[in-house]
Amino acid sequence: MSAESNLFFEDTVFVCDRTTQEEVFTEIANKLSLKNYVAPAFLENIIEREKGYPTGMDMSVVDPELPSFAVPHTEVEFVHTRRIVPVKLTTPVEWHSMIDPSQTFPVSFLFMILNDDKEAQVGILAKIMDFVNALGTDRVKELFSMTDAKAIYQFLVDNFPAD
Amino acid sequence: MIKVLAACGAGVNSSHQIKDAIESEFKNRGYNLHCDAVMIKDVNEEMLSQYDIFAQIAKTDFGFEVKTPIVDAGPILYRMPAMAKPVYDKIEAIIKEKGLN
């Protein structure tokens, strides 16, 4: 599978050692902005959106051993590309649940969704959920424990269903 | 036609996943159902009044009384049939109770 055939690209896989949500977003948004993948207002929008409508997926309801993750994203107008940006957080960061925002849990991996095409973006979140469910607890743990961006990229290219 | 409204923060991804899942499931169950996906900040009392069911992801305080029946549709996002089924069953129960079909 070529990089162009899926939703992952080697230049947008990150390992981040920041310890708060805002610091994580700032670091990743700055990197994405330098490559012109996002608009200048992306950072402000993703911080505000996450406060109002959090994106943590509490996977313990599926399997207590399955690590939770988050799927931050913004409205299409702040994005200039279509891809999933994986971010490994070396220090787990507390995240609020999408389904019950009063709940928080530690997250060590983000699938940040960038998409500039509202019509085409149907299904990216579904693909992420299908991928995690199909991968199984042990292999999800393996992916989420990786701290090398190239290894994360290769794992995803090898295992994520083609777009 | 049964009209369902799904809403999420960006009006994409989560709400569209719920829209697709509900439309697909209710086509299989033999209902004529259409679901719209919108940004939650665009939802107002007048918009909600035009729908039969509001499929919310998280509990939402709109600042007005929601008269449209509400279903907590968040479990659909997990893409696990066993988690989604109670959501679909609740929607179907509202459809039958209200005689919407």
ipTM value of the model? 0.86
Say which residues have a Cβ less than 8 Å from residue A48's Cβ, sequence separation at least 6: none
Q: Is the pLDDT at A14 greater than 80, yes or no?
A: yes
Q: Would you call B11 an interface residue with chain A, using a CB distance cutoff of 8 Å?
A: yes
**B contacts of A61 (beta carbons < 8 Å):** 78, 83
The pTM of this model reads 0.91
Cα(B56)–Cα(A118) distance, integer angstroms: 20
Q: Determine the distance in angstroms separating the CA of B100 from the nearest CA of chain A, rounded to an integer.
A: 27
Q: Chain A 7-26, CB below 8 Å of chain B: which residues?
A: none
Chain A CB contacts of B75 under 8 Å are 99
CATH of the domain at B36: 3.40.50.2300
- By residue range, what is the domain housing residue B24? 2-98
The closest alpha carbon to A10, from A86, A66, A76, A111, belongs to: A86
Q: Nearest CA to A32 among A75, A71, A86, A70?
A: A86
Quick check: B40 contacting A, CB < 8 Å?
A: yes
Chain B residue with Cα closest to A124: B13
Q: Which two tokens stand for residue A148?
A: 């090398």
State the pLDDT at residue A116: 83
pLDDT, position A2: 43
The answer on pLDDT for A118 being more than 80 is: no
* A19-71 per-position pLDDT tens digit: 999 999 999 999 999 999 999 999 999 999 999 899 999 999 989 999 999 99
Q: Which residues of chain B fall short of a pLDDT of 70? A: none
Tell me the pLDDT tens digit for each residue of A123-132. 888 999 999 9
Q: A113 CB near a chain B CB, below 8 Å?
A: yes
Contacting residues of B for A140, CB less than 8 Å apart:
none
- CA closest to B15 among chain A residues: A122
Cα gap A14→A10, rounded to integer Å: 9
| Overall domain count for chain B | 1
Q: Using H for helix, E for strand and C for coil, what is the string for B27-61?
A: HHCCCCEEEEEEEHHHCCHHHHHCCCEEEECCCCC
d(CA A61, nearest CA chain B) in Å? 9
Q: Distance from B93 to chain A by nearest Cα, in Å?
A: 22
Of B10, B12, B58, the CB nearest to A99: B58
Which candidate, A41, A144, A137, A19, places its Cα nearest to that of A88? A144
Reduce the DSSP state of residue B100 to 3 states and report it: coil
